[in-house]
Amino acid sequence: MSKNASLKTVVEWSPSHVSWIGQHHELVTVASLQEAAGQLASRDLVIAVSRRSAFLRPYRVPNTGKAEVRRILEMQIGQIFPIPASELAFDFHLTHDVSAEGRFAIIAAMRSADLLSMHQQAKAAGLRIAQVTLAALGSPLVAKSVGLDGAAVVYRTAEGLAVDLVAGGELRYSRVAPIPATSIGIDAEVSRTFAAAVMSCVPTVAAGGLMVADAEASTNTWALEQLAGTHIDIDIQTAEQLSTREKKGQAARLRASLAVLVVGLVAAGFQYMRWSKAEVAYNQQAGIWQQKGSQLKNTLDSDTTSVKSTGDVDKALTTAFHPAQTFSDVISVAANDVTKGIWLTGFSLERGKPLVIRGTALGGQTVVDYQHALVNEGRLRDVTLLFATNTLIQNSPVVQFSISAFPIGNLPLAEPAKKKAGAGQ
């Protein structure tokens, strides 16, 4: 609910009477809208349905959008009120009270037949109904005007004594009773209303100039006057009105979608023109840079070839002057691994070729032990016994042997050229 800049003409309606606040701050009541039409200053009305002609129910709903809540209530409305859903027209107000059980809503409803009858009466009287709400919804505004967000607001109306219970700034319960003759009787009706609503007692506000001796606050303001200056977001509409509103909403969304589409197409066309111009300029520059890139690539390839050639020469020189194992180291390794009963008679070692060890041993097992010692060194690979021959030296049996092993890192000075596929075949 929010304050409206301009005052509206608000009338309370029931099938039996029509009431509004007159120029002298009095409650004026006539039998019908036809009779009221000649006395009202405006042809555009806000109808506040009387308390006896309306249904009010606080209800917890899922904490979601109003459209989703309406769809849920359309399925449950027949269980909330004591008449079938097909005979009801309703609207609701979502409060700020949200808990684990959902959001607190104030549901207002009336008979569909009464709503149709009201619109027919207004049309016949030349009046236009801008909104249909509840007369009791002005009571929270009356309570607020005297500084209370919880109160029992009482009025003298054409239907009797109206008692509206307000809690947390929201209307929670409304009742009409016969007008008692004394203030004590009014207090008794307020107490009965609290008991019926199962609510704790709160201060009583005597509104519309009603005199209540024990009331905590009094005001000459009527609920209808408060409704005239405030926007209430409850508007009970017929099925035809709801259908029309939905169609208007769909049409508005369609127009908005078309407007967005047109803007999008215009923007896309503008961007395409910019892109086309940029593409032409890009292609021109790309051709220039592609030519320069080709020239630079040729230069780079030439320099890369030169660097590679220099690198190959440097690698060969490094290999020649800084071998992984010098020949003397290799010979020392082979000599240091000699076991008892072994005499070495010769070595053969060249760059990039295996080491060949020749010698004489007192027995075959001695040769095998020597071979194993060379394998365990870890500086030779492919240690292979080339031959072992038994012979006699001065009538003593010996074994002449030859072992081949490749020193790790013994690389050739120049890598041999790879043969092309099919060459030499």
Question: What pLDDT was estimated at residue 395?
Answer: 80
- Higher local confidence (pLDDT), 363 or 16: 16
4: pLDDT strictly greater than 60 = no
Which region holds residue 16: left if phi is over 0, alpha if psi is between -120 and 50, else beta? alpha
Contact present, 56 and 80 (Cβ < 8 Å): no
CATH number of 327-407: 3.30.1360.100
pLDDT tens per residue, range 184-205: 999 999 999 999 999 998 999 9
Question: What pLDDT was estimated at residue 421?
Answer: 56
Q: What percent of the chain has pLDDT over 70?
A: 93
Dihedral, 177, 179, 180, 185 alpha carbons, nearest 10: 40
Question: What pLDDT was estimated at residue 418?
Answer: 57
What value does the mean pLDDT of the chain take?
87
Residues 6+ apart with CB under 8 A from 55: 81, 88, 90, 107, 108, 109, 110
Residues 6+ apart with CB under 8 A from 157: 12, 19, 27, 50, 51, 135, 176
Task: Tell me the sheet residues that pair with 381.
Answer: 406
Report for 43-52, 307-316, 414-423: range of highest mean pLDDT: 43-52
pLDDT tens per residue, range 250-298: 788 888 888 998 999 999 988 998 898 888 889 888 889 888 888 898 8
Band (pLDDT 50/70/90 cuts) for residue 374 is confident
Describe the strand order of the beta sheet including 102-111 as a list of residue ranges. Answer: 55-61, 102-111, 88-99
Question: What pLDDT was estimated at residue 5?
Answer: 41
Ordered by start, the domain boundaries in the chain are: 2-237, 240-279, 327-407
17: pLDDT strictly greater than 70 = yes
13: pLDDT strictly greater than 90 = yes
338: pLDDT strictly greater than 90 = no
Calculate mean pLDDT across residues 40-56. Answer: 93
Q: Which helix (H) or strand (E) holds 17?
A: strand 17-21
316: pLDDT strictly greater than 80 = no
pLDDT tens per residue, range 96-121: 999 999 999 999 999 999 999 999 99
What DSSP line would sit under 275-325, residue for residue?
HHHHHHHHHHHHHHHHHHHHHHHHHHHHHHHHHHHHHHHHHHHHHHHS-SS
In CATH terms, is domain 2-237 a member of 3.30.420.380? yes
Strand 380-393 vs strand 27-30: parallel, antiparallel, or unpaired? unpaired
Calculate mean pLDDT across residues 390-416. Answer: 79
Question: What pLDDT was estimated at residue 35?
Answer: 94
Instruction: At 132, list the tokens.
Output: 């249909």
Name the percent of the chain in helix, strand, coil, to the closest 5. 40, 30, 30
